[in-house]
């Protein structure tokens, strides 16, 4: 049986967007895939659409993360190495600094503390009730480890934000990561902590960095079942990806009942992304954003913290995907059939020399304006020959019993 995502969404919601122009100083150089122009173009597109001008949306500044915050996740010796590398330009290979993935750049520590400070400020604002939702689209640097940089990530801002929440009384925090790469740094930080549920949907580690994120990685000790990994085959598109999402994420969030939901929205799952092999469209991605928004209200009292993440098609994908994300978080989703504003397209041309996309959808003309991506749900039946279904079942079998859920039920 075929079904589609329900069209009903939460209405306008308070949204705090943490932003400072200095966030684009997190810059590994003009030839590096993680070019901050993607964030710059996103904010410009969101402004042109008026996403940031709604009365329920507030754009605020924040403080950089101090060492005491960073040390909730990172070793002091590593923090000192980052500071030294950024001040001197010297690599620290033992800490992963000065590699092709993580080249040293001037002010590396200061730029990285800005990204982390924004995510902590977002979590603090939601946890303390100053806003319902908060977003740091420059964040989501989910690969950094306790003592090393990894995968373009210097400090692990989602992990630091979660650690701050735990230090300030949170007892059940859920983290859902839809980046094409496994959220290994966040998983590692809380692998033994039963207060944190981490769910990552990603391309199989058999074909993609960082080589972790198999379904058998489920947590340890009292946290058995709290690390959840859905490892999807190359070529997975919208309908199959959403089938996997709905077969795993909603049942676990409903069982866990988090007090707050953090989500990482790397949009490198898109078919145009140069570094990976999934085949989602912007339409599939925005459908996932809407589903997570609903789940935040259903399972976490509406408390939702949003970060960016990966995404290396800098013009065609990232700005549209994350503008949809900000609009969704504000409870004012954009019409996917809308044309991108001409002033923004001109800004893209001047800033990058590229031709900007003309619509906010990837759908062909006859389907533009459709609000959902059709998906065959898990309830339509398990196909043992389908590699996506195999991946779904492997994850459900690995973790569902730990949450009192039946991995075989067709729900």
What is the model's pLDDT at position 365? 73
Length of the chain: 411
Q: Which residues are catalytic?
A: 143
Residue 70 is assigned to a structural domain of this protein: no
pLDDT for the residue 116:
99
Residue 160, Cβ density class (10 Å: 0-12 exposed, 13-18 middle, ≥19 buried): buried
Matching residue, tokens 């900000």: 326
CB 264 within 8 Å of CB 175: yes
What pLDDT, on a 0 to 100 scale, did the predictor assign at position 351? Answer: 98
Residue 101 domain-assigned (yes or no):
no
**Is residue 79 one of the residues assigned to a domain?**
no
CATH code at 268? Answer: 3.40.800.20
Q: Which SS3 state, helix, strand or coil, does residue 139 take? A: coil
Q: What is the pLDDT of residue 367?
A: 66
Query: What gap in Å lies between CA 229 and CA 255, rounded to an integer?
Result: 17
Bridge-partner residues for 229, per DSSP?
A: 200
CA–CA dist 233, 281 (Å, integer): 16
pLDDT reported for residue 392 = 98
pLDDT at 192: 98
Q: Give domain status of residue 312, yes or no.
A: yes
Number of Cβ within 10 Å of residue 401's Cβ equals: 13
Rounded CA gap, 70 and 85, in Å?
A: 17
Instruction: Supply the DSSP string of 340-371, one letter for each residue.
Output: PPHHHHHHHHHHHSSPPPSBS--S-GGGTT--
Listing DSSP states for 140-201 in one string gives: --TT-BTTB-BTTBSS-HHHHHHHHHHHTT-S-EEEEE-SSS--HHHHHHTTT-TTEEEEEE
Q: Residue 253 and residue 259: Cα distance in Å, rounded?
A: 10
* pLDDT by 10s per residue, the chain, length 411: 333 444 456 889 999 999 999 999 999 999 999 999 999 999 999 999 999 999 999 999 999 999 999 999 999 999 999 999 999 999 999 999 999 999 999 999 999 999 999 999 999 999 999 999 999 999 999 999 999 999 999 999 999 999 999 999 999 999 999 999 999 999 999 999 999 999 999 999 999 999 999 999 999 999 999 999 999 999 999 999 999 999 999 999 999 999 999 999 999 999 999 999 999 999 999 999 999 999 999 999 999 999 999 999 999 999 999 999 999 999 999 999 999 999 999 999 999 999 999 999 998 876 666 556 777 788 888 999 999 999 999 999 999 999 999 999 866
Give the pairing type, strands 173-177 and 133-136. Answer: unpaired
Which pLDDT does position 2 carry in this prediction? 37
Segments forming the whole domain that contains residue 134? 9-65+110-403
How far apart are alpha carbons 334 and 210 in whole angstroms? 34
Interacting residues of 129 by C-beta distance below 8 A, sequence separation 6+: none
Rounded to the nearest 10°, the torsion over CA 128, 133, 136, 139 is 80
pLDDT attached to residue 371: 58
> Mapped to the 3 state alphabet, what secondary structure does 234-262 carry?
CCCEHHHHHHHHHHHHHHHHHHHCCCEEE
For 41, 158, 181, 244, 311, the CA distances from 357, given in Å and listed in that order, are: 12, 30, 25, 29, 16
- What's the confidence (pLDDT) of residue 159? 99
Q: Is residue 95 part of a domain?
A: no
Burial environment of residue 382 by CB neighbours within 10 A (0 to 12, 13 to 18, 19 or more): middle
Q: Give how many domains the chain has, as a whole number.
A: 1
Whether residue 384 lies inside any domain: the answer is yes
Please check whether residue 104 lies inside any domain of the structure: no
163 found inside a domain: yes
Q: How many CA atoms lie within 13 A of 199 on its CB side?
A: 28
Residue 270 burial class via C-beta count within 10 angstroms: exposed 0-12, middle 13-18, buried 19 and up: buried
What pLDDT is stored for residue 7 in this prediction? 40
């Amino acid at each position: 049986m075929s079904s589609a995502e329900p069209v009903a969404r939460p209405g306008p919601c308070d949204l705090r967007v943490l932003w400072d122009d200095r966030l684009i100083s997190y810059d590994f150089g003009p030839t590096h895939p993680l070019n901050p122009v993607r964030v710059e173009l996103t904010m410009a597109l969101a402004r042109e659409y008026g996403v940031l001008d709604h009365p329920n949306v507030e754009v605020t500044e924040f403080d950089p993360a101090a060492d005491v915050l960073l040390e909730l996740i990172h070793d002091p010796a590593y923090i000192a190495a980052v500071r030294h590398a950024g001040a001197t330009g010297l690599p620290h290979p033992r800490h992963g600094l000065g590699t092709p993935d993580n080249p040293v750049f001037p002010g590396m520590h200061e730029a990285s503390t800005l990204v982390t400070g924004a995510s902590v400020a977002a979590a603090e604002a939601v946890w303390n009730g100053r806003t319902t939702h908060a977003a740091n689209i420059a964040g989501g640097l989910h690969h950094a480890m306790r003592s090393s940089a990894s995968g373009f990530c210097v400090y692990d801002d989602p992990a630091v934000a979660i650690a701050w929440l735990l230090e300030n009384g949170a007892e059940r925090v859920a983290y859902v990561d839809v980046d094409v790469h496994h959220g290994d740094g966040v998983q590692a930080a809380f692998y033994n902590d039963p207060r944190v549920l981490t769910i990552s949907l990603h391309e199989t580690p058999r074909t993609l960095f960082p080589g972790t994120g198999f379904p058998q990685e489920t947590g340890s000790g009292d946290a058995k079942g709290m690390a959840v990994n859905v490892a999807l085959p190359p070529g997975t598109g919208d309908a199959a990806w959403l089938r996997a999402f709905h077969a795993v994420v909603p049942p676990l969030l409903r069982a866990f009942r988090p007090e707050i939901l953090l989500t990482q929205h790397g949009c490198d799952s898109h078919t145009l992304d140069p570094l990976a092999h999934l085949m989602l469209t912007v339409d599939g991605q925005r459908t996932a954003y809407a589903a997570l928004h609903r789940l935040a209200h259903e399972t976490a009292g509406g408390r939702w913290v949003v970060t960016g993440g990966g995404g290396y098609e800098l013009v065609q994908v990232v700005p549209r995907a994350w503008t949809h994300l900000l609009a969704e978080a504000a409870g004012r989703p954009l019409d996917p059939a809308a044309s991108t504003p001409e002033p923004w397209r001109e800004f893209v041309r001047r800033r990058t020399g590229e031709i900007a996309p003309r619509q906010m959808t990837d759908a062909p003309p006859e389907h533009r304006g459709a609000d959902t991506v059709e998906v065959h749900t898990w309830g339509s039946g398990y196909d043992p020959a389908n590699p996506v279904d195999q991946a779904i079942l492997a994850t459900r079998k690995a973790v569902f019993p730990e949450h009192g859920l039946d991995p075989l039920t067709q729900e």
